[in-house]
Amino acid sequence: MPGPDPLPEPLLPGFLRDPPHHLFFTGKGGVGKTSIACASAIVLAERGRRVLLVSTDPASNLDEMLGVALAEAPHPVPGVPGLEALNIDPDAAAEAYRTRVLAQMGPDAGETERASVREQLSGACTTEVAAFDAFAALLAGEADGHDHVVFDTAPTGHTLRLLSLPAAWTGFLEVNEAGASCLGPHSGLKTQEARFRRAMQALGDAATTAIVLVTRPDRAALAEAARSAGELAALGLANQRLVVNGLFRASRRDDAVARAIEESGRAALAAMPQALRVLPRDDLALRGFDMVGVPALKALFRPGIEPPAPAVPSAGGEGPRLPGLDVLVNELAARDHGLVMVMGKGGVGKTTVAAACAIGLVARGHSVHLSTTDPAAHLDMTLAGEMPGLRVDRIDPKAETERYVAKVLETRGRGLDAAGLALLREDLRSPCTEEVAVFHAFSRIVAAARSGFVVLDTAPTGHTLLLMDAAGAYHRQMTRDLEPRLGNGRIVTPLMRLRDPAHTQILLVTLPETTPVSEAAALQDDLRRAGIEPYAWVINRALTGSGTTDPLLCRRMLGEAAQIARVQAGLAQRAVLLPWQAEAPVGIAALRRLAA
């Protein structure tokens, strides 16, 4: 299909008119920032610019969206002259970082010392450090030769964590001149610190970078965008713009479903937080097709142009029938305890599904502990109330770090002199301490499900996989160090509990769209490689069966039917469907109805 002419100036979104060198797209998972980043890169290339598109998301789906296999080196995008793309591969970045750190040790370092440093550089925290290191290199000038660098970032919580790391390292290095940690030998980190400072300066310079916050006309997404705007500003990144993606206008006023979707969006925008109202804003209309493939991405900013519709797997596009969430909760409630772990891409509704499952279990006579590992947790907003038999909390990284530090000082600080205690305190200032503290809290929650029900709402996929990597590393260390002394069968690690179907049921939440289903399938593959088998898939917010006759929504239902059939055809052992709700399921009563 021949490409259209370059997008006319009047159709360009504001952030693409006189764009700076760097365009940095961020936002809550599921708001469409990858689609907008890709479409923006294509538009710039069509206008004669040399463009590099970069994903910093550990769960990146650029490959599928662009139809090309990407790696950590720039690769031309077929059909778009002038555009190259790459994924910052966390594992490859971590290995390159380890190699560079080891090279800084010099020829006098012995093998024992090198092995010790490599061990310290094997954790998930080092992977995050390495990912930011690769990102900082691009900001610091390693993408020279391109007119624009477009960054598609991980869901907000993960991105904010990465951006806040340089400040944590700076404070750590100011008081800790010697030793080593997951950052590497401290003596070799001053050069890194200078590069990270330059990268953050470039990111905060309005002449160099535009930070584009992407959101949906949805109260939760807008609240998350406002929180991100404040946290980015606190990091010195005030050069922000706002994109509201997916605005819908009903074509028929007698269609109750279409009217409800439109009115929900209007109400959310009317209540937009003040932090967002002051930002320059672009609105993008909801389109009737999945943003997968270059033709679809080229059509995003072009009203009236659409790629071919997907094949319809069944008459009318209604798709296969699936049971509801009530059937799944009934199966879970037949047990007397267990960990129900809800996982998936950001923005697919994990928090809603976790809360509905917890409330459904309480309604069936169980006491339930509902918690979350998500730094951008929305449990309180979703529940909007209390229920007897339901205990709600979250793993707060700051509180867990303080608790962990206090415990280490109490246990390892006994008998140390003033100098030794000062050295221990400095070591605990390492940014890696938070990773260890959060993992310990996660382990406690996993173990608590031995005697009751625990429902755990997890962070978006990439962040959760880092936590699972930590569980794997801990498991390997414990079995290597303790099993020879205690004997096989005496050790039970968190990973062993996650692998045990009698203890843990993993629910994968997705939307009936190509990219979320592909990402859920990739997450399932990652879990299976770790020896963990998902229990069920939950397909959330399906228009299928809603009765709408709106042309745009009906076109979206054709795509839904294809994806529902795809899940049933071989991805899920069992699957349930949660239909789209005219009103967001917020509050105990609404959540209880989802699982009733």
**Is 515 annotated in the active site?**
yes
Res. 433: pLDDT tops 80: no
Note whether residue 8 is domain-resident: no
Q: What's CA 498's distance to the chain center, in Å?
A: 21
CB atoms within 10 A of CB 459: 26
Vertex 23, ends 22 and 26: CA angle to 5°? 135
Query: What pLDDT does 174 receive?
Result: 54
Helix or strand holding residue 423 (H, E):
helix 418-428
At which of 256, 272, 302 does a domain end?
A: 302
Residue 377 structural domain = 317-594
Which residue in 32, 319, 347, 462 is the catalytic one?
32
Distances (CA, A) of 124 to 91, 119, 329, 473, 595: 10, 12, 33, 9, 36
Res. 320: pLDDT tops 60: no
CB atoms within 10 A of CB 410: 9
Query: What pLDDT does 313 receive?
Result: 47
**Is 170 annotated in the active site?**
no
pLDDT digits (tens, 9 = 90+) for 262-306: 999 999 999 999 999 999 999 999 998 888 889 999 989 988 777
pLDDT digits (tens, 9 = 90+) for 20-67: 999 989 887 778 888 999 999 999 999 999 999 988 776 677 888 898
Query: What pLDDT does 464 receive?
Result: 53
Whether 156 and 27 have beta carbons less than 8 Å apart is answered as: yes
Which residue in 26, 29, 34, 156 is the catalytic one?
34
Note whether residue 438 is domain-resident: yes
Statement to judge: residues 194 and 76 lie in one domain: yes
| Overall number of domains in the chain | 2
Statement to judge: residues 339 and 369 lie in one domain: yes
CA distance 302 to 292: 15
Distances (CA, A) of 532 to 189, 298, 338, 499, 500: 37, 39, 15, 5, 8
Which residue in 28, 29, 33, 264 is the catalytic one?
33
Query: What pLDDT does 346 receive?
Result: 75
Average pLDDT over residues 130-140: 75
More confident residue, 504 or 496: 504
More confident residue, 446 or 162: 446
The amino acid that residue 211 corresponds to is I
Statement to judge: residues 55 and 174 lie in one domain: yes
At which of 236, 271, 302 does a domain end?
A: 302
At which of 273, 302, 331 does a domain end?
A: 302
Statement to judge: residues 99 and 239 lie in one domain: yes
Res. 539: pLDDT tops 50: yes
Statement to judge: residues 406 and 514 lie in one domain: yes
Note whether residue 6 is domain-resident: no
Statement to judge: residues 202 and 323 lie in one domain: no
Statement to judge: residues 452 and 481 lie in one domain: yes
The amino acid that residue 444 corresponds to is R
Place of tokens 């074509």: 251
CA distance 363 to 504: 20
Tell me the three state secondary structure of residue 468.
helix
Which residue in 26, 159, 510, 515 is the catalytic one?
515
What is the CATH classification number for the domain harbouring 55?
A: 3.40.50.300
Res. 377: pLDDT tops 90: no
**Is 35 annotated in the active site?**
yes
**Is 283 annotated in the active site?**
no
The segment with the largest mean pLDDT, out of 79-88, 99-108, 111-120, 458-467, is: 79-88
Statement to judge: residues 512 and 555 lie in one domain: yes
**Is 32 annotated in the active site?**
yes
Whether 574 and 533 have beta carbons less than 8 Å apart is answered as: no
Query: What pLDDT does 310 receive?
Result: 58
Which residue in 30, 82, 317, 462 is the catalytic one?
30
Note whether residue 3 is domain-resident: no
Query: What pLDDT does 428 receive?
Result: 73
Query: What pLDDT does 65 receive?
Result: 86
**Is 549 annotated in the active site?**
no
Note whether residue 5 is domain-resident: no
Note whether residue 71 is domain-resident: yes
Query: What pLDDT does 201 receive?
Result: 81
Statement to judge: residues 273 and 341 lie in one domain: no
More confident residue, 377 or 570: 570
Query: What pLDDT does 417 receive?
Result: 81
- Report, in this order, helix, strand and coil percent for the chain, each rounded to 5: 50, 15, 35
Model confidence at 589, in pLDDT bands (50, 70, 90)? confident
pLDDT digits (tens, 9 = 90+) for 163-214: 666 665 555 545 555 444 555 544 445 556 667 777 778 888 889 889 999 9
Statement to judge: residues 161 and 272 lie in one domain: yes
Place of tokens 């994903």: 55
Whether 591 and 355 have beta carbons less than 8 Å apart is answered as: yes
Average pLDDT over residues 209-234: 89
The mean pLDDT value of the chain amounts to 81
**Is 525 annotated in the active site?**
no
Nearest CA-CA partner of 341 in 435, 444, 467, 454? 454
Note whether residue 1 is domain-resident: no
Statement to judge: residues 119 and 51 lie in one domain: yes
**What number of CA atoms fall less than 13 Å from residue 313's CA on the CB side?**
17
Statement to judge: residues 296 and 396 lie in one domain: no
Query: What pLDDT does 479 receive?
Result: 54
Helix or strand holding residue 505 (H, E):
strand 504-510
Whether 152 and 132 have beta carbons less than 8 Å apart is answered as: no
Query: What pLDDT does 89 receive?
Result: 74
User: Of all residues in the chain, what percent carry a pLDDT higher than 70?
Assistant: 79
Which residue in 26, 35, 60, 351 is the catalytic one?
35
Average pLDDT over residues 230-241: 88
Model confidence at 438, in pLDDT bands (50, 70, 90)? confident
Note whether residue 247 is domain-resident: yes
